A and B are shown apart, each in its own frame.
Chain A
Amino acid sequence: MTTKSVAIAPKSTVRVAPSVLAGIGAFAAVGAYVLVASIDLGLWTSLGPGAGLFPFAMGAVLVAMSVVWLIQELRKPSQTAEGVDRGLVLAVVLSLVVLAAVLDLIGFQLGMFLFLMYHLKLRGRRGWPSSLITALAGSVGAFYAFNYGLNVSLPVSAFPLLNTIGL
């Protein structure tokens, strides 16, 4: 009885970081989902191992490791890495999403030109000449280099108007 109470560490003042808890929870949830889904896929058939066997094992590993990680964290919370630059993450991710959404509509050249101008002129605060030159080379230049140099075709605009002027 006494040895047991000694073995339990004094209540630590450091708490498990919320982001770590969320991470562990997410991995456990993915693992649990995979476990259930792979049973539906069939673990074993008359011919041998089924489509679900390997994913089932991986789902089990994921759940088991999440549990071990949680125990480790409860015993000794790890220090989380420094926070990220949220402005940068938001700017890059949103601009990429917008670019991807309109790429097939307005074509690679116009889309990439605007994308690069945003990152060079607005976010990077570069001067007009260097922004324009880099953005043109990265959009129109890359388009022609890939299309004619490497035989890799990049998308053109779906709008007839833009399409006819070569964008």
Chain B
Amino acid sequence: MDTLNELMGGFAAAMTWQNLLFAFLGCLLGTIIGVLPGIGPVAGVALLIPLTLNLDATGAIIMLCAIFYGTAYGGTITSVLLNTPGEAASAITTIDGYAMTKIGKAGAALTIAAVGSFVGGTVATIGLVAAAKPLGELGLLVGPPEFFALMVVGISLLVALAGKSMVKAVISGALGLLIAMVGIDPVAGAPRFTFGMDRLLDGVSFVAVIVGVFGLSELLSYRKDTATPIVHAPNLRSLLPTRGEWRRSAPAMARGTGIGFGLGLIPGMTGSVSSLLAYGAEKKFSRHRNELGKGAIEGVAGPETANNSHANAALIPLFTLGIPASPTIAVLMGAFLQQGLTPGPTLFTEHSEIAWAIIASLFIGNLLLLLLNVPLVGLWTSILRVPSSILTALILLFMVIGAYTINFSVFDVFVMIGFGLLGLALRHLDIPLAPMVLTLVLGPLMERSLRESLEISQGDFSIFTSRPISAVLIGLGLLIVFSPLLKLRKPKALNEDPET
């Protein structure tokens, strides 16, 4: 009851016209980022943080959350119409989605994908409402050693899932942690790795690093052969699925919701894992499994529901424990910190009204996306017809503004350029970028919890193994890291996942 009252209070706060406008703008921008193949959700969210700098915390986070799950909707559109996923979590949708386009059923595929996304997102948000209080209370009981162990598990999972080589993933993670170390040491107050530059005393600007490593380096690695694609928006009448298609989609959506929700809760899992497994589930359990690959609606409904359910469920560990489950969420967490909000159990005690307003806005945003997505499909496809030279110029414009406005200093623009080149080098060496983002955000928190733990135990490292929860978590982390030796293999398709 208590929770319900607070949620109602959240709705009241989220329904102001300003906050509705922010949610609407976020959905719009998120969909555009999702549609544009060149720019992924990580760089997209980071790039748009400056837009929210001078907004109040509630409005800023509402907008960024909307951008975040808006990308999951938008990524579908190009998967279905063009056979190129706008973002990784929609890659699997291309198989049946594009097959449906070829047989003239693009409209139905897009509608089912949008409805599935709405169902998955809404159910996961209900899960967030239900889990917020109990998990948050549990989180308050967690001490520094458990917190440290939990982050170890999250990072190990991401390292294990990232790229083709674990060695490279660990290098990426270590680099992120080192970049996070630059600046005044939070405990002793001594400057670290600042090379005598006063600018670096506050650390390297997180937004500049992310925009450089993810955004600029992506743009720098473009090839010439990217011609402007020819796309045709489906006409409005064809958007309505038949009754049979609805009936076939419902069980797929239910499975997708469950899969996405479960995996979304696990730190280190990305949306692509969920959509892949959801497709696998359809292959196994669907009554029309033999039609998969030839334009079966289940192949769209399952994965698309799963990735949105995942995106929203992944907010649960962030809100309740302060642990970002994926790189995009890590960027979102950076935005929380920028606004002076610390995600985690204390969020509900210290900023309860903001937290609930954001959760309420998730429901509103999912509804907005459902309303925006399908009828405006013509608009989204027209974005794809913008010539690449104009898009490149505009993306560069946003990168410069994004990096500059964080501290209103040109220094950060140079930081962005430098990290863009670093990102390009890492891409060339086939080093995954995701572990770096995660450790960049988690680095300071990890270090603090490690040092607090060791202060509690007076320097005895056995504190991590003598406390039951942290012992189990550390064991789990080790198991994950050594899983290649135990022949636990990840799906091959994940090698191509840019988010991991």
Question: What residues make up the interface of A, taking CB atoms closer than 8 Å to B?
Answer: 19-20, 23, 27, 30-31, 34, 37, 41-42, 44-45, 47-55, 58-59, 61-62, 65-66, 68-69, 72, 78, 80-82, 84-85, 88-89, 92-93, 96-97, 99-101, 103-104, 112, 115-116, 119-120, 123-126, 130, 134-135, 138, 142, 146, 150-155
Contacts and interface: CB of A to CB of B under 8 A. Distances in A.
Given A65-B167, A119-B396, 6 more contacts: A48-B451, A51-B188, A62-B175, A99-B413, A104-B410, A150-B54
- Residue of A85, A96, A125 contacting most chain B CB atoms (<10 Å): A96
B451 A53 contact: yes
A50 B188 contact: yes
B390 A62 contact: no
Given A69-B167, A96-B396, A152-B405, A103 B413 contact: yes
B219 A92 contact: yes
Given A62-B175, A93-B220, A116 B393 contact: yes
Nearest to A27: B171
A88 B220 contact: yes
A154 B120 CA distance: 40
25 contacts: A23-B431, A42-B188, A51-B192, A54-B177, A54-B451, A58-B174, A58-B178, A62-B171, A62-B175, A65-B171, A66-B171, A69-B168, A84-B220, A84-B428, A93-B420, A96-B413, A112-B397, A115-B396, A116-B397, A119-B392, A120-B389, A124-B392, A130-B390, A146-B401, A152-B51
A78 B304 CA distance: 35
Contact of B405 (A30, A123, A154): A154
Contacts of A124: 387, 389-390, 392-393
B413 A41 contact: no
Contacts of A51: 185, 187-188, 190, 192
B397 A78 contact: no
Interface string B413-456: 11001001100110111110000000000000011001100110
Given A58-B181, A120-B390, A65 B174 contact: yes
B410 A65 contact: no
B220 A100 contact: no
B393 A120 contact: yes
B222 interface: yes
Contact of A48 (B53, B165, B429, B454): B454
Nearest to A90: B220
B376 interface: no
B193 interface: yes
B285 interface: no
Contacts of B394: 134, 138
Interface in B449-475: 450-451, 454-455, 458-459
A62 B176 CA distance: 11
A126 B410 contact: no
Contacts, number: 170
Interface string B35-76: 000000000000000110111000000000000000000000
B400 interface: yes
Interface residues of B, number: 62
A81 B451 contact: no
Given A23-B425, A81-B428, A49 B396 contact: no
Contacts of A138: 393-394, 397
A61 B481 CA distance: 14
B18 to A, nearest CB: 13
Interface of B: 50-51, 53-55, 165, 167-168, 170-171, 174-175, 177-178, 181, 185, 187-188, 190, 192-193, 216, 219-224, 387, 389-390, 392-394, 396-397, 400-401, 404-405, 408, 410, 413-414, 417, 420-421, 424-425, 427-431, 446-447, 450-451, 454-455, 458-459
B393 A92 contact: no
B413 A100 contact: yes
A27 B168 CA distance: 11
B203 to A, nearest CB: 13
Given A55-B178, A55-B193, A152-B405, A123 B389 contact: yes
A153 B408 contact: yes
Nearest to A111: B400
Nearest to A151: B54
A23 B429 contact: yes
Given A54-B447, A61-B174, A119-B389, A45 B167 contact: no
Contacts of B50: 152
A164 to B, nearest CB: 22
A47 B17 CA distance: 52
Given A88-B220, A92-B219, A96-B417, A134 B393 contact: yes
Given A134-B393, A154-B404, A72 B417 contact: no
Contacts of A42: 188
A37 B451 contact: no
Contacts of A31: 174
Given A88-B220, A97-B417, A58 B177 contact: yes
Nearest to A71: B167
Nearest to A102: B410
Given A93-B420, A104-B410, A152 B53 contact: yes
Contact of A49 (B175, B428, B459): B459
A20 B425 CA distance: 10
A163 B416 CA distance: 27
Contacts of B219: 92
B406 to A, nearest CB: 10
A53 to B, nearest CB: 7
Contact of B459 (A48, A72, A80, A119): A48
Contacts of B425: 23
A93 B217 CA distance: 10
A34 B177 CA distance: 12
A65 B170 contact: yes
A152 B401 CA distance: 10
